[in-house]
């Protein structure tokens, strides 16, 4: 099996320690161990295979699904991979939105799937091409892969569109993987969890972004009980079970959900004002205003050169669009401390004058 490089990850990891202002990464600020509360003594000699009942109950509550539709995984990354392992065979047709989050096509390509792309263009606000969906999806589509909110564009797909997608999937007999790691970032405008719309959807998510808990490596997969049984069987051959410690830490985080939402809302609103002003003032930059805190502006110029000058001369890290399949864009996130964002944007402005 040929393993492709995960280019975005390698780029971010190789520059993260030297940059001063990371405005490329997609996490909100982390919760500390102290905030998550003292851990009770626990039996570390084993772990619940599909996640502890308490964690599954909390995930079911926030997603409005039933507990037996929840499988706890090691990050959304594992959840996405398990969906591919379960549903795909060599030669299966997978359609992925483009610009994309890289693993959402590479992981499936690695499993032998044939990939084609569904374009989401900035001229159309990164909306899904719902009117052309029938022609855009090959007859033999097995899996359609989408994100909601969209990474990298930050656009939300609402319940009405989800219902249209579900009826097409029903008619044409395929499944839709909906990666919802950014869904909560739209707060009360957040779209419904796609599994509540139809069992044609398989939903993946994690506390890595909204709760800043990428290090605990917890995620989840939500699917009909019938399908989830098969996905759970696949997990027995990957990581077997989530870490008992991480399971407990995530329970702590989800119990603090209201507080986290208040904190994140304040931060995103404050930062959004800064980015709105910055985009307004930069003649060479245009964007689709996002529904969350991840955005994908375009730059009239050489984005790779801009990224390297910004990093070298000003310590600002952005994620060039080539990693998402759209070279004249870059991913700009604004979920970090406001002072970091401000300095990062100032660095980017200076770099634009130097390229």
Ligand X SMILES: Cc1ncc(COP(=O)(O)O)c(C=O)c1O
CB 89 to ligand X: min, Å: 23
Which listed residue (23, 144, 181, 222) binds ligand X by CB under 6 A? 181
Q: Which is nearer to ligand X, 182 or 287 (CB)?
A: 182
Distance of alpha carbon 29 from alpha carbon 344, whole angstroms: 16
Name the maximum alpha-carbon separation found in the chain.
59
Q: Which of 148, 151, 295, 298 binds ligand X (CB under 6 A)?
A: 151
Q: Does 179 bind ligand X (CB under 6 A)?
A: yes
Shorter beta-carbon distance to ligand X: residue 325 or 351: 325
Q: How far is CA 7 from CA 25, 102, 103, in A?
A: 14, 8, 9
Nearer to ligand X, 113 or 218 (CB): 218
**208 makes contact with ligand X (CB under 6 A):** yes
Residues of this chain, 68-97, that bind ligand X according to CB under 6 A: 75-77
- In whole angstroms, what is the distance from residue 279 CA to residue 331 CA? 13
Least distance from ligand X to the Cβ atom of residue 259, Å:
21
The b/e string for 37-53 (b: 16+ C-beta within 10 A; e otherwise) is: eeeeeeeeeebeebbbe
Q: Is 219 in the site for ligand X (CB under 6 A)?
A: yes
- Is residue 26 involved in binding ligand X (CB under 6 A)? yes
Judged by beta carbon, residue 11 or residue 101, the one nearer ligand X is 101
Q: Closest approach of Cβ 217 to ligand X, in Å?
A: 7
**Closest separation in Å from C-beta 355 to ligand X:** 27
User: Closest Cα partner for 57 from 250, 190, 203, 212?
Assistant: 250
Nearby residues of 34 by Cβ (< 8 Å), 6 or more positions away: none
What's the token pair of residue 265? Answer: 């809302």
Q: Which residue in the set 99, 191, 212, 214 belongs to the binding site for ligand X (CB under 6 A)?
A: 214
Could you say whether residue 250 binds ligand X (CB under 6 A)? no
d(CA 295, CA 324): 12
Q: Which residues of 71-103 are buried (b: 16+ CB within 10 A; e: fewer)?
A: bbbbbbbbbbbbbbbbbbeeebbbbbbbbbbbb
- Pattern 37-66, ligand X, x by CB under 6 A: ------------------------------
Determine if 242 is a binding residue for ligand X (CB under 6 A).
Answer: no
Which residues in the 95-134 window bind ligand X by CB under 6 A? 101
CB of 170 to ligand X, least distance (A): 25
155 in contact with ligand X (CB under 6 A): no
Size of the site for ligand X (CB under 6 A): 13
**Residue 129, class by beta-carbon neighbours within 10 Å (0-12 exposed, 13-18 middle, 19+ buried)?**
middle
Give CA–CA dist 103/78, Å, rounded: 11
Identify the residue among 206, 264, 271, 316 touching ligand X (CB under 6 A): 206
- Residue 133 structure tokens: 């969906």
**Given the rule CB under 6 A, which residues bind ligand X?**
26, 75-77, 101, 147, 151, 179, 181, 206, 208, 214, 219
């Amino acid at each position: 099996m040929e393993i492709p490089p995960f280019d975005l990850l390698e780029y971010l990891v190789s520059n993260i320690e030297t940059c001063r202002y990371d405005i490329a990464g997609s996490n909100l600020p982390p919760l500390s161990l102290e905030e998550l509360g003292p851990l009770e003594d626990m039996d570390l000699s084993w772990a619940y295979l599909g996640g502890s009942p308490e964690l599954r109950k909390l995930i079911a509550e926030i997603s409005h699904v039933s507990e037996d539709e929840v499988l706890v995984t090691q990050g959304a990354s594992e959840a996405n991979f398990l969906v591919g392992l379960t549903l795909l065979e060599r030669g299966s047709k997978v359609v992925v939105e483009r610009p994309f989050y890289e693993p959402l096509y590479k992981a499936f390509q690695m499993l032998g799937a044939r990939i084609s792309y569904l374009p989401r263009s900035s001229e159309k606000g990164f909306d899904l091409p719902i009117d052309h969906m029938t022609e855009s999806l090959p007859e033999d589509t097995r899996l359609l892969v989408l994100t909601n909110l969209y990474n990298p564009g930050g656009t939300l797909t609402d319940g009405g569109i989800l219902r249209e997608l579900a009826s097409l999937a029903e008619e044409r007999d395929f499944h839709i993987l909906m990666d919802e790691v950014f869904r909560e970032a739209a707060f009360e405008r957040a779209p419904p969890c796609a599994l509540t719309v139809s069992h044609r959807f398989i939903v993946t998510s994690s506390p890595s972004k909204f709760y800043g808990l990428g290090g605990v490596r917890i995620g989840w997969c939500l699917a009909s009980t019938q399908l989830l049984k098969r996905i759970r069987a696949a997990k027995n051959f990957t990581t077997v079970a989530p870490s008992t410690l991480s399971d407990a830490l995530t329970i702590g985080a989800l119990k603090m959900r209201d507080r986290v939402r208040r904190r994140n809302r304040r931060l995103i609103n404050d930062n959004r004002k800064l980015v709105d002003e910055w985009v307004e003032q930069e003649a060479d930059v245009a964007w689709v205003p996002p529904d969350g805190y991840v955005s994908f502006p375009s730059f009239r110029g050489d984005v790779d050169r801009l990224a390297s000058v910004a990093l070298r001369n000003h310590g600002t890290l952005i994620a060039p669009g080539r990693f998402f399949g759209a070279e004249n864009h870059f991913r700009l996130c604004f979920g970090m401390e406001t002072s970091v964002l401000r300095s990062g944007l100032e660095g980017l402005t200076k770099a634009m004058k130097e390229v």
